[in-house]
Each structure stands twice: as C-alpha cells, then as structure tokens.
Amino acid sequence: MAAPPLILASRSPRRRELLAGVGLRFTLASPDIDERVRRGESPRAYVVRLAREKARAVHAHDGATVLAADTSVVVDGKILGKPRDRADAARMIKLLSGRAHDVFTGVAVRRGKKLVATAARTRVTFRALTPREIAWYVRLPEPYDKAGGYAIQGAAGGFITKISGSASNVIGLPLHTALKLLARVGFPLPWSAP
C-alpha cells in the first residue's frame, strides 16, 4: 500500500536532502508568507510562527500531510537572516567568530484540521577567525542563501569547534523533531510499513 502524500513546504535544497535521506517521498510547495519579526517576539516563537504559517499556506490536496520549517541563527538575542550581500555576510561571520550562538528551527506538521508545531535549539561554537579567513569565506557562494550566512555541511564546517544538539537542525531540519511530529499526526514513517 502506498504511503499517503507528503508535501514539504520549503524551497530549501538542504531540507529536501535531509527528508529524502530518511526514505520519505514527498512533493514540494513554496509558500509565500511575511517573514518579518514581530515586535517583542522571541526567536523560538518567531520560527514556530513562521513554520505554522507556511504549513497553513499550502493547499493539502487528497488528504496530504504538510511539513514546514523555518530556521534562524541567533546571537546576542538578535536573529540573523540571510546575508544581503558580501559586506553583510562578512558582518555576520565576524559576529559569530570566536563564540557560541543558537540555531532555532520551528517545525510544523498539518494533516487535515490537526496542526502540531515545536522548535529545536542547537548551540554552535565557532573558533576565532582571522580577517583573511572571513574574506575568503564570503567570496564563496555558500553564505548567501543560509540563515546566519554559513553552512555546517560546507566550508564553514571547518570553523565549528562544538555543536550541542541536533546537527540536522543547523542544516535546516531537525530530523528527530520532524519525524516525531509526523508520527503524532498519524503519518506513517518508512519503517512503520508492514
């Protein structure tokens, strides 16, 4: 018997790779929502709200289940988005250099009228970087479509000295959390098939 349809509400190639890596088959949707931070909104509340809004924005045909996520890098309580340009990427990497920061990913799953959501948090520590290393890194294409301006699965992996929590969260989808939410709404996981 075929698994019910699953829709990944994301443009992120990293989320696609992570989800496919655990054997799930899915189609893609690209919800368009307002991603501005609301006044007084905590980073955790922000990513959960965006994940919920993305899950609600996708038309779930034929009883499909929708999985949505949103990731933010947070340092000094401030959310770092995707860099606008090279100078912005350099500013972000310099801010992360030699210190720890948090990565929050909100995950939401909607099946029928049921919507469940939560957030995962991972603490990441960068070693101190030289101005030359930062200048080299921001010339790469890697930083520009990533929250916080870096990718642990790429060249920036060489900057990281410690990760406390889910590594897949830092890539863009905390797999343990996503699979737990899918199971909560009754979506059959690959290993639960007879």
- As annotated, the active-site residues are 70
Angle formed by the axes of helices 131-138 and 86-96, to 10°? 140
Q: Judge whether 149 and 92 are in contact, CB under 8 Å.
A: yes
Task: Look up residue 75 and give its two tokens.
Answer: 């340092």
Contact 62, 5 (CB under 8 A): yes
Owner of token pair 């290993």: 191
CA atoms within 13 A on the CB side of 129: 25
Contact 5, 159 (CB under 8 A): no
Q: Which residues of 87-119 are buried (b: 16+ CB within 10 A; e: fewer)?
A: ebbbbbbebbbeeebbbbbbbbbbbeeebbbbb
φ, ψ (nearest 5 deg) of residue 52: -60, -45
Distance CA 50, CA 43 (A): 11
